[in-house]
Amino acid sequence: MDKLLIAKSEPLWNTDKRIISLISGLIVLLFALPHFGLNSFYLHLMIMIFMHAVMAQSWNVIAGFSGQISLGHGAFFGIGAYATSFLYVQYGISPWISIFLGMIVSGVAAVLIGIPMLRLSGHYFAIATLLIGISFQVIFQRWEWVGAASGVWVPMTSGDSLLALQFHSSKMPYYYIFLVFFIITFFLVWLLSRSKLGYRLRAVRDDPQAALSLCINVSNYKIIAYVISAMIMAPMGSLFAQYILIIDPDRVFNIEISIIVLLITVLGGIGNVWGPIVGAAILIPISEYSRIYLGGTGGAVDLILYGLILMLICIFRPEGLISFFPKNILERKKQR
């Protein structure tokens, strides 16, 4: 591996003390939250927020940092979901192992897709990924070995089982698992954004020609970003599959997944590490409540809102809602 990829440009201890205390306070609060008597609906809401924040962060890495718009990111979510469910049903492999297998498969798929496609840029790449997302759905709908259109049913264990990652008595364990993945992902992406790799990706996004002239291999860096992004997405698919215990191509390869990650990131603030949290914390409650109060499936009220919000954000606040916060407060450095 390239020696220059190792993070060293901004050491961690350079971060403002107040930011560190704010974030650690928030983490303690999130860990304590389920003990304040949240009912299972609120636990579900929080789980969905964590999951979508991580999914959006995955999209943020490829689109926000390296500037390539992927409209078919649901493909990696589906790969993750299929990896755990299928390996558990067919070979009895514990989901804890297959989460990582799913990540690896997803990463390999990203390399294979990325090598021909990331030579494209701009609209060509966006259209190609749109096609990829739909192709995966078509392939899995016809693929008999993985259950074709009826999908995979994960057999229920008799009680709660940590090994099989199934909990039937309470949503609490799921809450903590998603929370831990959420914190780890955001910490790693935050490190990434401060590392040389992060700066190089942004150089590729802002001016590929200038980046090339500084000996940054543009297409290699795009592929690295794509692989990282895919490997963040896959575990969420795996955990989601364990959370609902039944998956089918229409659910886990749905184009809606690709849409919602884009929407959350653009709403929160694209290219900003904290944008996806803001986006998910605002959008997921809107979506869940609109489903409760404005009619369920088929009405598509939540989708109308998504489309409207997306257009309004693009017109009035292309930097996302995070730009309402004071500038750079989240990235302020200690004065020396």
Partner 1 sequence: MISEIILQAMVTGLMMGLIYALIAAGLSLIFGLMDIVNFAHGEHLMLSMFSSFWLWSLFGLDPIFSIPITILLMAFCGVLTHYFLIRYILKAKMLIQICATFGLSIFIRSIAQFLWTPDFRNIDKPLLEGRLEISGMFIGQPQLIASLVCLVAFILLYLFVTKTETGLALQATAQDRHAAEILGIPSDKMFAIGWAIGLGCVGVAGGMMANYFFIFTDVGINFALFAFVAVALGGFGSIIGCLYAGIIIGLVESLGGLLIDPSFKLLYVFAIYLLVVIFRPQGLFGRY
* Residues binding partner 1 (CB under 8 A): 63, 67, 69, 71, 116-117, 119-120, 122-124, 126-128, 130-132, 134-135, 138-139, 142, 259, 262-263, 266, 270, 298-301, 303-304, 306-311, 313-315, 318
Q: How far is the CB of 146 from partner 1 (least distance, A)?
A: 16
d(CA 105, CA 110): 8
CB 194 within 8 A of CB 66: no
- Is the Cβ of residue 117 or residue 233 nearer to partner 1 in the bound state? 117
User: Could you tell me the smallest distance in angstroms from the CB atom of residue 209 to partner 1?
Assistant: 15
Unique residue bearing structure tokens 């407060």: 329
Q: Which is nearer to partner 1, 113 or 252 (CB)?
A: 113
Distance CA 123, CA 315 (A): 20
Rounded Cα distance between 126 and 110, Å, is 15
Closer residue to partner 1 in complex, CB, 138/246: 138
| Cβ nearer to partner 1, comparing 8 with 119 | 119
Among residues 31, 52, 6, the alpha carbon closest in space to that of 265 is found at 52
Q: For the residues of 51-73, what is the DSSP string, one character each?
A: HHHHHHHHHIIIIIIS----S-T
Other CB atoms closer than 10 Å to residue 29's CB: what's the count? 10
Residue (48 or 266) nearer to partner 1, CB: 266
Establish how many alpha carbons lie within 13 A of residue 135's alpha carbon, considering only the half-sphere containing its beta carbon: 8
Which residue's CB is nearer to partner 1, number 25 or number 122?
A: 122
Give the nearest distance from C-beta 318 to partner 1 in angstroms. 5
CB of 196 to partner 1, least distance (A): 23
E strands within the chain? 152-153, 246-247
Q: CA geometry: angle at 296 spanning 294 and 302, to 5°? A: 60
Minimum distance from CB of 289 to partner 1 (Å)?
17
Closest contact distance (angstroms) between CB of 324 and partner 1 is 17
Cβ 162 to partner 1, closest distance in Å?
A: 39
Alpha-carbon distance 82 to 286, whole Å?
Answer: 28
Find the radius of gyration of the CA atoms of the chain: 20
**Cβ closer to partner 1: 124 or 325?**
124
